[in-house]
Amino acid sequence: MDDRTVRTALERHWEASDASDFDVEHEIYAEDAVLYYPQSGERIRGRQNIQESRFVQPNRKRFTVRRMNGGGDLWVTEFILTYDDVPSYAVSIMEFREGLVANETQYFADRFEPAPSRAHLVDRR
């Protein structure tokens, strides 16, 4: 797959994630894909198990993609995942094999206030 095709597939994936369209959301994964959450130590093996883990999540979710960068078989998406109106900042690292995601690692972080010591250096958004 060329980079434009991968980017289009990723856009479709994140749009489906935001719409809770679990079938379309998981089309991007290989049957033997592995999803890893380092902060909780969870490793989920197989597209069907990845899909089920997201389907049974009871919270209302929204996804806002901030940016996607990558090329070839390695792509990174920075996004905001909002669970029940509480935002969490996240990064997804996807490794592709034969046009499908073989491995994904997701990192999450909560918002925090900037340190007063660097306030004069910060460009607030």
Residue 119: what pLDDT?
82
Fold of 3-111: Nuclear Transport Factor 2; Chain: A, (3.10.450)
Which pLDDT belongs to residue 106?
A: 98
CB 20 within 8 A of CB 26: no
pLDDT along the chain (125 residues), means of 10: 94 96 96 97 97 91 96 97 93 97 96 84 74
DSSP state of 120: G
Task: Measure the CA–CA gap between 125 and 87, rounded to whole angstroms.
Answer: 16
Using CA atoms, how far apart are residues 24 and 36, in angstroms rounded to an integer? 20
Is the CB of residue 68 less than 8 Å from the CB of residue 76? Answer: yes
pTM for the model stands at 0.90
State residue 125's pLDDT score.
63
